[in-house]
Amino acid sequence: MRSAPPRLTFQLPGRWLTVDPRDEQHAREQVEVIVRELAGVADDAALARRRLRQSFNRAIVAARDAEAHALFLCIEAAPGVALPASLTVHAPERLRMTPAVGTSADAVLGVLGQGLASSTSAGADTARRLDGPRASVLRTERQFEELVEEDGISVTAVRLEADYWFAVPGSKQVVLASFATPLGEIRNAMLNLFDSIALAASFDAVTVDAR
């Protein structure tokens, strides 16, 4: 037996659906079920359904393109509290620290923070380190306005995306957990929720049979 790279696990509150972004047709069918559960099937909820559908389908495409390890779609944050949100987890191969960098979380996150400080990518200037009892992360956030149209009716929604960068213990690798929600109008509440989930995450050692 030998040890495999530690796996990042989350304690997700409420009800979340695990989706395989590689099977896009099945993933979209799962989205339709979630959308109807969240928004209902009434005619006057058509715009809300389209808004949710766009948000979840975007998460599926992004997860597939990033070759994500996992994609989770939130149905309820607590019993009776509907909350549309997604969580995508992947380890970008291009983001492996140079040999000169140590393997401590402080070293890896420090170098990553320096890189973000000089980056022009969306949200890089919001980079902030967060420390919790189980994890330390670097968080960036972005907000986008989106026009949603259905049957001649349109509404502008605010999409919030928050990225959390984790340093894999004992390595120079990072894992990226990306949250997204169409509820950007309540940014602070959503960030508080995402922060609490990220800071409660932990790496579990995994062993594999080398035979």
How many angstroms from the chain centroid is the CA of residue 103? 24
Model pLDDT, residue 120: 82
Residue 197 in 3-state DSSP?
A: helix
pLDDT in tens, 16-32: 989 988 888 999 999 99
Amino acid at 33: V
**pLDDT tens sequence across 68-122:** 888 999 988 888 888 889 999 987 666 655 555 666 778 888 888 888 888 888 8
Q: How many CB atoms lie within 10 A of CB 62?
A: 18
Q: How confident is the model at residue 190 (pLDDT cuts 50, 70, 90)?
A: very high
* Average pLDDT of span 25-51: 87
- Which sequence spans correspond to the domains of the chain? 2-201
> What DSSP state is assigned to residue 48?
H
* 41: pLDDT strictly greater than 70: yes
For residues 165-184, give the mean pLDDT. 88
Rounded-to-integer distance, Cα 77 and Cα 85, Å? 9
The predicted structure's pLDDT at residue 204: 80
The pLDDT value recorded for residue 79 is: 86
> Are the beta carbons of 123 and 163 closer than 8 angstroms?
yes
What pTM, to 2 d.p., does this model score? 0.84
180 burial via Cβ count (<10 Å: 0-12, 13-18, 19+): buried
Q: How far is CA 23 from CA 87, 97, 125, in A?
A: 17, 32, 35
